[in-house]
Structure 1
């Protein structure tokens, strides 16, 4: 399937837009079903537009946005337009009032069109498009002083059309891959292993610790044994090389710009693309 209007509707930490060329040149020539257990902003899914796809993320607010755009694009666009048009003279005060309302709905688990609209508005108007929550699961990123519109209606409608044929779930990455079988392609863009082993930042209150990385490496081995094509991207760290090295997997190191970093000098780094084929 191809539609040049389909594109990510949120900015996401660790998003793979800049790695698309390196990912595409390493894709298997043919595959059956497509699985992405850590979809995030969906840069890879929306580039490839696979016909039989399952996308998953543990972030329920993010997946709610995917579902609302899939199932109720007109209502979603109307709700976002209302938020954009009602912005007060004081954008900062308006942003924090909406952030508080968003967190209130999140605590009540009100996963509806309004929450999806708030989610996308806040993503476009928060610092660096970063999704970060505190220990209570409350979104706490400050305002970025932007007053731009939150979405492109054409992109949302094209994305909604594509998502009609996609299975969208929110849960653990192992469950997301339970039906992956021989000949299927699994693209794994897990939360980054920390560059500093003592710092694990999380974008969901559940977090993704060293044990999670070990469990994911075991899943990669299991999917390999099933005959799935697997590709995994992460920081080029000792932990990742320990977990995937010496197993016969192809590990390529690529240079990247780190978009989300307050210190510009730290915005260049290395990532690995690991393939089992």
Structure 2
């Protein structure tokens, strides 16, 4: 049966669109269930479209959006189109009013269809599709001067149809992997280890610090012992090589463009793709 082509409905920092071919060629030919504990924009997930899959992310607003698109695509599209159609002459002023409304709903824990629509609008109209929050957990990324439509309706309908038989979780990456068994494939695309070891920026208020990276490396070892196929991607840093080197894992270094760095001369770098098979 031919798969419908699906692309991510959000842009996500650290997204794997530019590495898709290199990731796909390294995936195991056959596996049982697919697990992705840090789904983000889901570039790999939507490309491969496994029939048996579990996706997860710590970002509650992101997972709310996946769930709303899955359960209520018509209502979601209605909300997004309403937000898009009401954009004022002053796009910047409108963007910041939407951001304020979004943060107000976050403070009230109103994880509903409207929040999902606001989330996607902000993603498409903020700087580089970043999701960054301050110490209070409030979204604080500036406007990117775009007036583009927030969604392509055909993509949303395709995503909703595909997600019907997918398990969608929100929580810690270890919890998301509890049911992973021998023969399952686990794709681990965690928040990046910093290029500068002294700077850790978080995309959720919970953050992802050095201890989180150590805990992830321990999980990778445990999943390997269970007989799972594991693939992990991250920056090619001393920390990552220290955590995964000398264990018999296959570590491939690949060149990437870094789209978020404001200095164009610093936009070329290296990442690693680590496999245990």
- Contact 1:5/1:154 (<8 A) preserved: no
Cα distance in structure 2, aligned partners of 1:5 and 1:64: 23
Show the counterpart of 1:183: 183
Matched with 2:14 is 14
Distance (Å, rounded) in 2 between the aligned partners of 1:241 and 1:2: 39
Secondary structure at 1:255 match in 2:
strand
Aligned to 2:276: 276
User: Runs of 5+ in structure 1 lacking a partner?
Assistant: none
1:2 Cα deviation from its structure 2 partner? 4.5
**Secondary structure, aligned partner of 1:204:** coil
Asked whether the equivalents of residues 102 and 119 of structure 2 are also in contact (C-alpha less than 8 Å), the reply is yes
In structure 2, what is the equivalent of residue 148 of structure 1?
148
**Aligned equivalent of 1:65:** 65
Answer yes or no: is 1:26 the counterpart of 2:2: no
The answer for the alignment partner of 1:105 in structure 2 is 105
* 2:246 equivalent in structure 1: 246
Whether the 8 Å CA contact 2:5–2:47 is kept in 1: the answer is: no
Partner of 2:252, secondary structure, is: strand
Q: Contact 1:5–1:159 at 8 Å: present in 2 too?
A: no
Unmatched segments (≥5 aa) in structure 2 = none
Structure 1 contact 37–176 (Cα < 8 Å) conserved: yes
Aligned match of 2:166: 166
Q: Residue in 2 aligned with 1:200?
A: 200
Instruction: Give the TM-score, by structure 2 length.
Output: 0.99
Distance 2:160 2:2 in 1: 14
Partners of 1:100 and 1:64 lie apart in 2 by: 19
CA distance in structure 1 between the partners assigned to 2:31 and 2:80 by the alignment: 37
Deviations 1:101-127 (A, max 9, x none): 000001111000000000000000001
Q: Deviation per CA, 1:71-114, whole angstroms, max 9, x where unpaired?
A: 00000000000000000011101000000000000111100000
Secondary structure of the residue aligned to 1:273 is: strand
Structure 1 residue ranges, 4+ long, deviating more than 3 angstroms after superposition: 1-5
TM superposition score normalised by structure 1: 0.99
SS of the equivalent of 2:219 reads: helix
Q: How does 1:223-238 map to 2 (within 5 A)?
A: 223-238=223-238
CA-CA distance at 1:4 after TM superposition: 3.8
Deviation readout 1:121-154 (Å, 9 max, x if unpaired): 0000001111100000000000011001000000
1:79 alignment counterpart:
79
How much is the aligned-residue C-alpha RMSD, in angstroms? 0.7
Inter-partner Cα distance in structure 2 for 1:140 and 1:84: 20
